Structure formats: structure tokens, C-alpha cells
């Protein structure tokens, strides 16, 4: 195997492993956020725990941010590499004949999710850092639900979030299944794994859409 092929496989494996990690994060993030709809007190409790637990704050949070950065940087590298390979090897490459729009445009859906994350960090994470480390406000385990609901009051932010979640669904639709392929998983469970990835790709982003719309339209919470 040539060095080039080996390093390209290594990149795909890094992409797949960081992708699995982010999928795992997404599942736990969704579980906590869904409690903002069905059990506001639980949402407050869990958010407070996540916001002040030293293990979460100083170990898991930096690991998560590193995971996001690795996934996106490696995504760009793979995209550049694929473009170069396509230009040289497949002069007659006709994308639509060989792959779906979603799989050929992972970089576009990925960029939309990245742009969403920038806004999302500004909305929640920057606010949280300022609250704790700049304004030195006292701990208040009851504030998270109201703060989250408040964020979804403006129509513009709700629309941006919803559109981003649709692009996230497209990204996961191809990416989650493809990660198993990159890891070389190919056995009798493959069809079930594939079905699970497709269900996850639809249900979790739609769940996020539901949370955003619920807080935007629920008059009881404004
Ligand atoms: C309705 C949907 C969502 C709501 C209500 C929501 C809410 C929140 C909140 C309250 C935080 C702050 C946590 C903290 O105190 O640090 C947060 C952080 C974060 N969210 Fe979301 N989120 C949503 C969707 C998403 C999605 C779809 C993604 C990924 C594509 C995402 C990625 C993140 C990341 C990476 C962080 C930083 C994590 C950290 O601070 O440790 N969120 N989100």
C-alpha cells in the first residue's frame, strides 16, 4: 500500500472516530435539552451540574472542543484531497452518476453546521463564560430554563437554528453510516447498523427542531 493511500485511510479513520464521538455528544446533548420541554426543573438541575462540575468543565469540555476542531479540520483536508484526486484520476467524473447529492456535498452541510456552532457558542457558551468568569455572578441553579427559552423568542434565531438542524440531518444521513464503512465494519449486522444510523440522522435533528419551535411558540414560557 502506498504512503499516500495509507495516510488517506488514516484520515478517514480519524474522521470516523471523531464523528462517532460527536454523535455520542449529540445524543446526550439532545437528552438534556429535551428535558427543557418535558421537565424544566430537571433541565435546570442537569444544566447546573454540567456548568459547574469540574470533570465536565475542565476535562470533558476541552475534549469536546478538540473533537469538533479535529473533525472539521480533517473534513477540509479530505475534501481538498478528494478534489485533487478527482481532477487527476477521473477526468470524466460525473458526480451525480456515482453518488448522492448529500454524500458529494458533506463539506457544504458541514460548513452550515460549523456556522451554526459559531452562533450557538456565542448564544450559550460565551454567555456562560461571561456569567461565571467575567461578571463573577453567584451560582443560580434555577436560571437555565428561562435563559434557554429566552433565546428562542426571536424568529430570526429560531429560523437559523431550524435550517441548521435540517442540514445537520443531511450531514448525519451520509456521515454516520459512512463512518462504519471507514472503520471497515462489514458483517451480518451491517444492514441493521445502517438502518439505525438513518433513524438517528432523522430523529435527533427533528427532535432539536421540535425543541426550538416548542420554545418559540409556547406562549406559557414567554
Ligand atoms: C434546540 C437545540 C439546542 C439547544 C436548546 C442547545 C442548548 C445548549 C446549551 C444551553 C448549551 C450551554 C452548555 C453550557 O452551559 O456550557 C449548549 C452548548 C453546546 N451545544 Fe447546544 N443546543 C442545541 C443544539 C445543538 C446542536 C444541534 C449541536 C451540534 C451540532 C450543539 C452543540 C453544542 C456544543 C458543541 C456546545 C458546547 C458544549 C459545552 O459547553 O460543553 N447544540 N447547547
Task: Tell me the per-residue pLDDT of 75-116, one tens digit each, with 9 for 90 and over.
Answer: 999 999 888 887 655 555 555 555 788 998 999 999 999 999
pLDDT at 84: 85
Residue 40 has pLDDT above 60, yes or no: yes
Residue span of the structural domain in which 113 resides = 3-221
Residue 5 has pLDDT above 70, yes or no: no
CATH assignment at residue 30: 1.20.1300
Q: What is the pLDDT of residues 140-161, one digit of tens each?
A: 999 999 999 999 999 999 999 9
Instruction: Decide whether any atom of ligand 1 lies within 6 Å of the 112 Cβ.
Output: no
Closest residue by CA, ligand 1 atom 40 = 125
Q: How far is the CA of 205 from the centre of ligand 1 (A)?
A: 13
Domain count, the chain: 1
Which of 180, 167, 26 lies closest to 102 in space, CA to CA?
167
Residue 26 has pLDDT above 80, yes or no: yes
Q: How far is the CA of 29 from the centre of ligand 1 (A)?
A: 7
Instruction: Decide whether any atom of ligand 1 lies within 6 Å of the 61 Cβ.
Output: yes
Residue 220 has pLDDT above 60, yes or no: yes
Instruction: Decide whether any atom of ligand 1 lies within 6 Å of the 122 Cβ.
Output: no
Q: How far is the CA of 109 from the centre of ligand 1 (A)?
A: 18
Cα gap 213→158, rounded to integer Å: 7
Pocket probe for ligand 1: among 124, 141, 214, the residue whose CB has the most ligand atoms within 8 Å is: 124
Q: How confident is the model at residue 1 (pLDDT cuts 50, 70, 90)?
A: low
Instruction: Decide whether any atom of ligand 1 lies within 6 Å of the 158 Cβ.
Output: no
CA distances from 101 to 53, 109, 116, 202 (A): 42, 11, 21, 17
Q: How many residues does the chain have?
A: 222
Q: What is the pLDDT of residues 182-207, one digit of tens each?
A: 999 999 999 999 999 999 999 999 99
Pocket probe for ligand 1: among 28, 29, 32, the residue whose CB has the most ligand atoms within 8 Å is: 29
Which of 33, 116, 16, 104 lies closest to 67 in space, CA to CA?
16
Amino acid at each position: 500500500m502506498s504512503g499516500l493511500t495509507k495516510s488517506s485511510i488514516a484520515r478517514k479513520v480519524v474522521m470516523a472516530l471523531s464523528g462517532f464521538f460527536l454523535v455520542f455528544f449529540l445524543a446526550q446533548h439532545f437528552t438534556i435539552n429535551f428535558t427543557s420541554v418535558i421537565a424544566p426543573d430537571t433541565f435546570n438541575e442537569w444544566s447546573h451540574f454540567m456548568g459547574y462540575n469540574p470533570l465536565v468543565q475542565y476535562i470533558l469540555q476541552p475534549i469536546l472542543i478538540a473533537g469538533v476542531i479535529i473533525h472539521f479540520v480533517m473534513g477540509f483536508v479530505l475534501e481538498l484531497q478528494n478534489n485533487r484526486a478527482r481532477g487527476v484520476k477521473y477526468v470524466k467524473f460525473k458526480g451525480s452518476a456515482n453518488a448522492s447529492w448529500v454524500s458529494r456535498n458533506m463539506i457544504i452541510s458541514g460548513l452550515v453546521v460549523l456556522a451554526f456552532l459559531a452562533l450557538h457558542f456565542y448564544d450559550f457558551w460565551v454567555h456562560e463564560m461571561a456569567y461565571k468568569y467575567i461578571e463573577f455572578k453567584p451560582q443560580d441553579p434555577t436560571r437555565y430554563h428561562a435563559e434557554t427559552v429566552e433565546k428562542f423568542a426571536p424568529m430570526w434565531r429560531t429560523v437559523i437554528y431550524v435550517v441548521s438542524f435540517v442540514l445537520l440531518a443531511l450531514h448525519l444521513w451520509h456521515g454516520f453510516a459512512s463512518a462504519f464503512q471507514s472503520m471497515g465494519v462489514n458483517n451480518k449486522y451491517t444492514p441493521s447498523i445502517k438502518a439505525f444510523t438513518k433513524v438517528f440522522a432523522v430523529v435527533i435533528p427533528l427532535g432539536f427542531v421540535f425543541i426550538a419551535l416548542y420554545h418559540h411558540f409556547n406562549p406559557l414560557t414567554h
